[in-house]
Amino acid sequence: MDLSVVVPAYNEAESLPELAEWIDRVCTGASIDHELIIIDDGSSDGSWDVIRRLSEGSTRIKGIRFRRNYGKAAALHTGFEAARGEVVITMDADLQDSPDEIPELVNMVRKEGYHIVSGWKKKRYDPFIKRTTSKLYNYTARKFSGIRLHDFNCGLKAYDGEVVKSIEVYGEMHRYIPMLAREAGFRKIGEKVVQHRARKYGVTKYGLDRFFKGYLDMLTISFITRFGKSPMHFFGLLGTLMFGAGFIMAAYLGIRKLVFVWNGLRAPLVTDSPWFYIALAVMIIGSFLFLTGFLAELVNRRSSDRNRYLVKDRLNMKSEGLKV
């Protein structure tokens, strides 16, 4: 199959029929063998009834329904598992992403060799506050991640099928799929200016809280990609430095005490100095950090994921029974 289109939907019953018809018209016109996977993320407006009705009228349309609202990342992860296409395209269900972009996105992945192509809504039809916070957020994400994308949060993205099978999207990490993919070894990441359309039905499901969640998620994914396989490199180093700093402070106080005693002078009590308590606290915190890194390494080594590595090619060997 050429293409899988994955669409998370939460209370988008009004827009789904038009979206499904539009995607089918574009893909059929471009001779793209495709499937449409709609994930009902716990909708309460009858979206599942619409999806069921659409699937009965076309074998290309598939539906997955969550028991409750888990969020966009969970919907994408489930859709990626079900996708069978050589190329996977994600888009929002609110008709703000145009399916007319599909043929060019598919060509950029299949013919130009991109692992990921991210949409860039250069001209947006959003409120001023949303546009401003989005620009600030994307600027920070570019500087923090080193990936030169203008719109990390754009729902319209195209992926090589191997990419979506090689990464795990959870929590609110859908914003940082390019970072996850790069960490997995998929480094050819591009972008395309796409049309952003004004919302036709319903209301937005996002508030200002996603701005703050985005920054916290960025810190999380950055830590995981850098230290997820070797937590001791972070906690152990930080703990060692803190314990060393506290030990030096305590040693200074002790040496000063001995100097006073050696010279027959009245030595001040070590415990009278506030630096003694600072040194003690720093050494305790350093010890806890070191132990945290040590325990994290033990958990990491016992994890079943420790031997899961992405193998790109094999020569003169069978893959059956080979643990990777």
Q: Are residues 75 and 150 in the same domain?
A: yes
Q: Which of 227, 258, 288 is the last residue of a domain?
A: 227
Determine contact, residues 35/4, Cβ cutoff 8 Å. yes
In a domain, 277, yes or no: yes
In a domain, 144, yes or no: yes
Q: Are residues 279 and 170 in the same domain?
A: no
Q: How many domains does the chain have?
A: 2
Q: Are residues 82 and 12 in the same domain?
A: yes
Q: Are residues 207 and 279 in the same domain?
A: no
pLDDT score at 323: 43
pLDDT score at 244: 95
Listed as ranges, residues in the chain with pLDDT below 50 are: 304, 306-307, 315, 319-324
Q: Are residues 267 and 193 in the same domain?
A: no
Q: Are residues 160 and 264 in the same domain?
A: no
Q: Which of 203, 227, 251 is the last residue of a domain?
A: 227
In a domain, 314, yes or no: no
Q: Which of 227, 244, 276 is the last residue of a domain?
A: 227
Q: Are residues 196 and 55 in the same domain?
A: yes
Reported in sequence order, the residue ranges of 16-145 that DSSP labels E, i.e. its strands, are 34-40, 61-65, 87-90, 116-120
| CA dist., res. 223 & res. 68, Å (int) | 29
CB burial of 30-44 (b: ≥16 within 10 Å; e: otherwise) equals eebebbbbbbbbbbe
In a domain, 131, yes or no: yes
What range defines the domain where residue 299 resides?
232-307
Of how many residues is the chain composed?
Answer: 324
Supply the pTM of this predicted model.
0.74
Q: Are residues 16 and 157 in the same domain?
A: yes
Structure tokens that stand for 158 in this block:
């195209």
Q: Are residues 146 and 287 in the same domain?
A: no
DSSP 193: E
pLDDT score at 39: 94
| CA dist., res. 56 & res. 66, Å (int) | 19
Question: Which CATH number covers residue 8?
Answer: 3.90.550.10
In a domain, 313, yes or no: no
Q: Are residues 244 and 216 in the same domain?
A: no
Q: Are residues 120 and 133 in the same domain?
A: yes
Q: Are residues 288 and 156 in the same domain?
A: no
In a domain, 287, yes or no: yes
pLDDT score at 10: 93
264-276: per-residue pLDDT in tens? Answer: 888 788 888 899 9
